[in-house]
Each structure stands twice: as C-alpha cells, then as structure tokens.
Amino acid sequence: MYLSVAPSPHHKGTGDTSTVMRNVALATMPGIAALVYFFGAGVLVQIIICITTAMLTEAAVLHLRKKDISTTLKDNSALLTGLLLGLSIPPLAPWWIGVIGVVFAVLIAKQLYGGLGFNLFNPAMVGYVLLLISFPVAMTNWSVPTELSHHQVTFSDIISVIFTETTTTGMTVNDIRHTIDGVTMATPLDTLKTDLTLGLTVGESTAKDMFSSWAGFGWEWVNIAFLVGGIYLLKIGVIRWHIPVAVIGSLLFCSLLGYLLDPDSHGTPIIHLFSGATMFGAFFIATDPVTAATSNRGKLLFGVIIGALLYIIRNYGGFPDAIAFAVLLANMTVPVIDYYSKPTSYGNKAD
Amino acid sequence: MNQYAELTWQGLWKNNPGLVQLLGLCPLLAVTSTLTNALGMAIATIVVMVCSNATVSLIRQWIPKEIRIPIFVMIIAGFVTCVQLLINAYAYGLYLSLGIFLPLIVTNCIIIGRAEAYASKNDLLPSAYDGLIMGIGFGVILLLLGAVREILGQGTLFSGAEILLGDWAKSLTIHLIDFDQSFLFIMLPPGAFVALGFILAIKNSVNSRVEALIEPPVEIEKPQRVRINKVS
C-alpha cells in the first residue's frame, strides 16, 4: 500500500470536456425540434453549415498552430460553437452569413485568444454580434412561423433560398415572409419595439395575430423546449442552477417592475421571459463554463447582470433582443467578479 | 550615405511608426475605410512631417529647452493648417470625407515624436529625410489597411478616387467582388483594429523568420524541474 501525496484537488470529476459538450449539444434537441416545427427545415440547414464551418476552421487554425488536430476536435467545443450560432441565425439567411460568423467566432474570438479555456468572450455570441452589426437586414429577416405563412415552402425552396437567395420559383426571402394577411412579420419582440416607437401601447401591439397565444406565436414553445433542455442539463449536473436562475430572476424582477410602473410602454413579464432567446440564452449561452464567473456567488452576480442588461437593452436600446450584447458585456465583468467573489478556503477567516 | 540607409531601414521596417511604434493609431484606424481616404491622409501626413521636421531642425538652436513642446506643436499646427486649407481648396470631397481627422494631424504623435526625437538633434537634410521616410512608412500602412478594408468591406478598390485626383481618376475604381450588402464590420473602427492586428502578426512572423535565418537561435540549457506530485 502506498499513500499518494499529490496536492489538491483530491476528488476529481469523471466527465471530460468532450462529454460535457456532447451533453449540452444533446440538450438543445428539444429546442431544435421546436424551431424546425415552427420555422421549417432551414434551421437544420443553418446548423449543418455552421457546424461544418466550425470544424474546418478549427482544424485549419490548429494546423497553423502546429497542434494535434484530432484530439482537440474531439473535445466537441467547435461543434458546440457552430451549433449555438446556427441556432441563433435566421433560418433562411444566405449561407455565407453562417460561414462568416462561425469563422470569426472560432478563429478570432476563440483560437486567437489561445483556444478553448482562454477565450474572454463567448465565441458564438461574438460571431452573432459581428453578423448583427455587419448585416442587419439579413440578420433580422426571421421567417414567419409556417402556420401563419402565406406560402408553402418546400425543402428544395429552402435549400435554394439559402444558397442562391431565391426559391425555385424566383421568390426572395422577403416574399416568403409575407403572412396570410399579406404583410411581412418580424419576431414578437421586434414587432413590440416597432409598435412602441410608433406610439402604440403594449395592449394594442399584443392584440395582433402573432401574439394570438400568450407570448408570441411559436416563440413560447421554442422557449419552453429550451427550458426543458436546460432542466435536463441541470439534472445531469452539466450546469449549476445559479446562472439560469439569476438571469431569469433578474429579468422577471425588471420586467415586473417596468410593467407595474407603466404597463402601456413595457411588455409583460410573460413576453420577456418566453419570447426571443431568453431561455436559450439563460441555459445555453450564459452558462458557458469558460466565459462565465467561477464561484457560486460570482455566478449569481453574473446572471443578475445579464438579466438586467437584457431588459435595459430590449426596452431602451436599439435592438429588439439582446442576449448576445448582454452576455458579452457581462463577460467583460467576469475578471472583476472572480476577483471579489473568491470563496474563502477551508480554515481561513473570511475577510 | 550610410546614415540615410539606416534612416530608411528604421522608417520603413525596423521602427515603422504604424507597425512597431504603434503611434498615430487614431487616423490609422479612423480614416482607412477606403484606399482613397488613406491615400489623402498619407499625403497630408508626409507633407506635414517633412515640413515640420525641416523647420524644427533649422531653428533648433534658438528653441529654449523648457518650452520646446509647445513650439513644436505650433510649428506643426501651422503646417497642418496650410495642408488643410489646400485640401479644402483643391479636393473638397476629400476634405469632407477626412473630416475632423485632418486638423487632428496636429495631435498625431508620430509627427511630434520625430520632431522631438530626431529633428531637434540633427541637421536639416537628415531631419527632412527622416520626416519623409517615417511619413512614407506610416503612409504605406495606411494604404495597406485602406486597401484591405475596402476590398473586404465593399469589394472595390479606389472607389471615389476622383475626389482626390480629379475626374480622370474615375476609371481607377476597380470592382473586384460584387456584394449585395457591404461588410459593415470591416468598414467600422473595430474592423480596422482586427485588420491591423493581423498585419502586425504577419509583420512579426516575417521578422522572426528572417532573424532566425540570419542567426540561428542559441540553445539555452533549461534548468531541470523536479516534479514531486506524481508517483511513478
């Protein structure tokens, strides 16, 4: 018998990076299913484009950096970055949108900082913000839920729109986006924001077709699906509860406050929680282990910052949704949060 | 002549103001969205640098040491005003597109840096030559950045050259790639930061490769470290 004298930590987890990343990817399945159901198979095409590009970019950079390609690719982190970005871009966006975003995310936001574990900012969200700033038109052309759409779009149409920008019958993305009533439709949050600037009240805006159910047609189910996936992640212990709870809690608090003070110009908490990318952001984006805060107290603060920024930008900023901006801004605060939220080690007094 | 060769080497590569000293980042990042703007800025900067270096060198005996910086700034401001009025008169379009960055050449640290570090200590000819070479070194980076950003941003080269060079230059505009939408990120200052970063990386990697060719690196014997936390 021998006694090991290795320094701490003595109790090691069993999961490796590859398993963790694969589990996160698996947990997005309900969300993907909901998106495909409401917005068509374009979502899948975008995801495939993004994942392929992410893998190729990662391999190319690793080759340049003279690192072992196959072991690093097997950690699935590039796959996850591609997947998350693919989920964020509009289903019928042209193919080069995904390619540019992913190349920027993997090459600049991740590998130039030193690869997985060294990046300051969430790669997928850096790619998303680059796209949103560079191509605002293409990035805000979200498709209409298939049930409200005027045109029946076949799979070959989707492929054709993504790769040639027109369908087989010559329609563009904007033509497809016409609803049964003949008007183009934006996302619920976008509509709400536009209507508020046009002088309508929240009540008048939410009386529209797309709010026929409780938080925007289709979007509430997408959010519930991501919530289910997130709860699965919590259950298998890939993420801790602190960040999602803090994000949702602070968003709920802010939106409730706004709604109670001035219900005519602030969306209801339900809309804020179950529309846009709230659940996706809270469970899958903000919980990125590399760029989020480390300690439990720090995670709570990090989440609260994201939720508050999310509400502020949604209501008073220039963009209808703000997961990417809120997460990136909160990423910047992480070094300070980590510095001040260091847990006291056992046996020492808290100072 | 050796002195001039050294100055050329320093200004264009070894001590390039844009790539090594990293001075004058404000115009470097702000006005390089097209090649035409970059060219205008480069010419203006070179003219100001040559003139201010020559003047400073001529009057260096009479400048009291304690107040030399305000005097340099006034000399530079005088030349910048001349250049600004000239551009206003003969290239009004360029004057509009360079905007505030034209008068801001006064605050460009390269110019005052060369006046302080070189012109105030050397004779007229070397000083003027130093201004010219440093200006060219900076201008080359401006042009490179302008070209890269214009190609990636809107797929053209030399768009709007007529506002700088006159009507004949309209034919200079080259359409390389046809974009439906311009790539706004590259046109905005953040894109300039990223592009400059890549140019810096290329410069450094070329540098280290050339140096490795000239003299192979000496093997330094690393001290052995003993690890005690593994039982084998």
Taking the CA of residue B214 and the nearest CA in chain A, the distance in Å comes to 23
Are A133 and B185 an interchain contact pair (Cβ–Cβ within 8 Å)?
yes
Nearest CA in chain B to A108: B194
ipTM score of the complex? Answer: 0.80
Q: Do B181 and A130 touch (CB under 8 A)?
A: no
- To the nearest whole percent, how much of chain A has pLDDT over 90? 47
Q: What is the pLDDT of residue B217?
A: 65
| Residue that wins the pLDDT comparison between B84 and A164 | B84
Question: Average pLDDT, stretch B6-35?
Answer: 85
- Tokens coding A220: 């509430």
What average pLDDT does this structure show over A179-188? 66
Residue of A nearest to B232 (CA): A4
Do residues A324 and A341 lie in contact, with contact meaning Cβ atoms separated by under 8 Å? no
Residue A141, min C-alpha distance to chain B (Å): 14
**Mean pLDDT across B201-214:** 88
With a pLDDT cut of 70, the percent of chain A lying above it is: 92
pLDDT grade, residue A320 (50/70/90)?
A: confident
Measure CB to CB from residue B184 to each of A7, A134, A165 and give the nearest one. Answer: A134
Question: What is the predicted pLDDT for the residue at A311?
Answer: 93
Closest CA to B49 of B24, B19, B30: B24
**Hey, is the C-beta of A7 within 8 angstroms of any chain B C-beta?**
yes
Do residues A174 and A79 both lie within one domain?
yes
Confidence of residue B230 (pLDDT cuts 50, 70, 90): low
Q: pLDDT tens-digit profile of A106-159?
A: 999 999 998 888 999 999 999 999 999 998 888 887 777 776 776 777 788 888
Query: Whole-angstrom distance between the N-terminal and C-terminal Cα of chain A?
Result: 41
pLDDT for residue A222 is more than 60: yes
- Res A306: pLDDT: 95
Residue-wise pLDDT for A224-268, tens only, equals 999 999 999 999 988 999 999 999 999 999 999 999 998 888 888
Q: At a CB cut-off of 8 Å and minimum separation 6, what does B71 contact?
A: B63
Give me the residue from B180, B194, B229 closest to A108, CB to CB.
B194
| DSSP string computed for A185-210 | ---HHHHHHHHHHTT--HHHHHTSGG
Question: What pLDDT does A252 receive?
Answer: 94
DSSP A106: I
Per-residue pLDDT, averaged over A3-19, amounts to 76
Instruction: Name the pLDDT band for B226 (thresholds 50, 70, 90).
Output: low
The answer to whether residues A241 and A100 belong to one domain is: no
Whether A126 is covered by a domain: the verdict is yes
Taking the C-alpha atoms of residue B143 and residue B39, their distance in angstroms, rounded to an integer, is 6
Give the three-state DSSP class for A179.
Answer: strand
| Beta-carbon separation of B181 and A6 below 8 A | no
pLDDT at B200 over 60: yes
* pLDDT of B211 higher than 90: no
Which chain A residues contact residue B185 at CB under 8 A? 130, 133-134
pLDDT reading at B3 higher than 60: yes
CB atoms B229 and A135 under 8 Å: no
Together in a domain, A30 and A122: yes
Q: What is the pLDDT of residue A115?
A: 86
SS3 state of residue A41: coil
> Do A36 and A150 sit in the same domain of this protein?
yes
Q: Containing domain of residue B85, as a range?
A: 2-214
Res A124: pLDDT: 94
Q: pLDDT by residue (tens digit) across A265-297? A: 888 888 888 888 899 999 999 999 899 998 999
pLDDT computed for residue A250 by the predictor: 95
Of A261, A254, A269, A264, the residue nearest A313 (C-alpha)? A254
**What does the mean pLDDT of chain A come to?**
86
* The token pair that represents A253 in the structure block: 């608090």
Please give the pLDDT value at position A183: 63
Answer with the one of A150, A167, A185 that is the final residue of a domain.
A185
Report the residue of chain A nearest B186, measured CA to CA.
A134
Average pLDDT taken over every residue of chain B: 86
Q: Give the range of the structural domain holding residue A205, as residue numbers without chain letter.
A: 186-339
Q: Is residue B220 part of a domain?
A: no
The residue among A3, A61, A135, A166 with the most chain B CBs within 10 A of its CB, best to mutate, is A135
Q: Which of A126, A130, A161 to mutate to test the interface with B (most CBs of B within 10 A)?
A: A130
Structural domain includes residue A38: yes
B202 interface with A at CB cutoff 8 Å: no
* pLDDT at A185 > cutoff 70: no
pLDDT of residue B125: 92
CB A138 within 8 A of CB A94: yes
The alpha carbon of residue A164 and the mean position of all alpha carbons in its chain are separated, in whole angstroms, by: 27
Backbone φ, ψ for residue A92 (5° rounding): -105, 20
d(CA B179, CA B154): 7
Tokens encoding B67: 């107040």
Largest Cα–Cα separation, chain B: 80
* The pLDDT of residue B162 is above 80: no
Check whether residue A287 and residue A262 sit in a common domain. yes
Residue B223's CB: how many other CB atoms inside 10 A?
A: 5
Is A254 in contact with A311 (CB distance < 8 Å)?
yes
Q: Are strands B174-175 and B156-157 parallel, antiparallel or unpaired?
A: antiparallel
CA-CA distances (angstroms) from residue A206 to A161, A162, A195, A203, A223? 31, 31, 9, 5, 18
Phi, psi (deg, nearest 5) at residue A183: -110, 150
Cα–Cα separations (whole angstroms), residue B119 to A98, B3, B58, B60: 52, 14, 9, 8
A154 and A28 share one domain: yes
pLDDT in the model for residue A68: 87
| Structural domain contains residue A62 | yes
Q: What is the pLDDT of residue B184?
A: 86
Q: Taking residues A25-49, what's their average pLDDT? A: 92
The pLDDT of residue A45 is above 90: yes
- Do A173 and A25 belong to one domain? yes
Of the residues A185, A216, A241, which one is the last residue of a structural domain?
Answer: A185
User: Which residues in chain B are contacts of A137 at CB distance < 8 A?
Assistant: 181
Q: How many domains does chain B contain in total?
A: 1
How many structural domains comprise chain A?
2
Query: Is A138–B231 a contact, with Cβ atoms under 8 angstroms apart?
Result: no
- Per the CB < 8 A criterion, the answer to whether A323 and A307 are in contact is no
Q: Are residues A196 and A320 in the same domain?
A: yes
* Residue A129, min C-alpha distance to chain B (Å): 10
Dihedral over alpha carbons A245, A247, A253, A258 (to 10 degrees): -160
For residue A182, the model assigns a pLDDT of: 59
Task: Say whether residue B185 is in contact with chain A using an 8 A CB cutoff.
Answer: yes
Looking at residue A344, its pLDDT comes to 81
Q: How confident is the model at residue B195 (pLDDT cuts 50, 70, 90)?
A: very high
- Chain A positions touching B226 (Cβ under 8 A) are none
Looking at the structure, tell me whether residues A174 and A193 fall in a common domain: no
pLDDT band at A209 (very low <50, low <70, confident <90, very high): low
Residues A110 and A56 in one domain: yes
Q: Which residues in chain B touch residue A4, judged by CB atoms under 8 angstroms apart?
A: 231
In this complex, how many residue pairs, one in chain A and one in chain B, have their CB atoms less than 8 Å apart? 26
Q: Does A91 fall in a domain?
A: yes
Is any Cβ of chain A less than 8 angstroms from the Cβ of B184?
A: yes
**Is the residue at B202 inside a domain?**
yes
The mean-pLDDT minimum among A50-59, A71-80, A192-201, B194-203 falls in A192-201
A9: contact with B, CB 8 A cutoff: no
Query: A247 — contact with chain B (CB < 8 Å)?
Result: no
Mean pLDDT of B14-34: 85
Residue A60 and residue A5 in contact, taking contact as beta carbons nearer than 8 Å: no
**Does one domain contain both A214 and A121?**
no
Mean pLDDT of A159-177: 76
**For chain A, where are the alpha helices, taking DSSP H only?**
17-27, 29-39, 42-64, 69-73, 77-88, 95-103, 123-134, 136-140, 155-164, 173-176, 188-197, 202-206, 219-235, 242-261, 269-274, 278-280, 296-316, 323-340
Domain match, A172 and A36 both: yes
Q: How confident is the model at residue A33, as a pLDDT?
A: 94
For A130, which of B185, B229, B230 is closest by C-beta distance?
B185
Per-residue model confidence (pLDDT) at position A98: 93
If we measure between CA atoms, which residue out of A138, A35, A109, A156 comes closest to residue A327? A109
Query: Residue A332's pLDDT is what?
Result: 94
Residue A138: C-alpha distances to residues A132, A149, A174, A187, B202 (Å): 8, 19, 10, 14, 33
Task: Pick B93 or A327 by higher pLDDT.
Answer: A327
Please list every residue in chain B whose beta carbon sits closer than 8 Å to the beta carbon of residue A138: 181
Write the CB contacts of B45 (distance below 8 Å, at least 6 apart in sequence). Answer: B24, B27, B105, B108, B110, B111, B135, B138, B139, B142
Q: Which of residues 162 through 191 in chain A touch B, CB cutoff 8 A?
A: 165
List the beta bridge partners of residue A149.
Answer: A179
The alpha-carbon gap from B57 to the nearest alpha carbon of chain A, in Å, equals: 44
Which tens digit of pLDDT belongs to each residue from B98-139?
A: 888 888 888 888 899 899 999 999 999 999 999 999 999 999
Place of tokens 């042209």: A94
Q: Which residue has the higher pLDDT, A11 or A38?
A: A38
Q: Three-class SS of residue A184?
A: strand
C-alpha to C-alpha distance for A34 and A47, rounded to whole angstroms: 14
Cα–Cα distance, A46 to A97 (Å, whole number): 9
- B227 within some domain: no
Contact residues for A292 (Cβ-Cβ < 8 A; gap 6+)? A243, A286, A299, A302, A331, A334
Map chain B to HEC letters.
Answer: CHHHHHHHHHHHHHCCCCCCCCCCHHHHHHCCCCHHHHHHHHHHHHHHHHHHHHHHHHCHHHCCHHHHHHHHHHHHHHHHHHHHHHHHHHCHHHHHHHHHHCHHHHHCHHHHHHHHHCHHHCCHHHHHHHHHHHHHHHHHHHHHHHHHHHHHHHCEECCCCHHHHCHHHHHHCEECCCCCCCCHHHHCHHHHHHHHHHHHHHHHHHHHHHHHHHCCCCCCCCCCCCCCCCCC
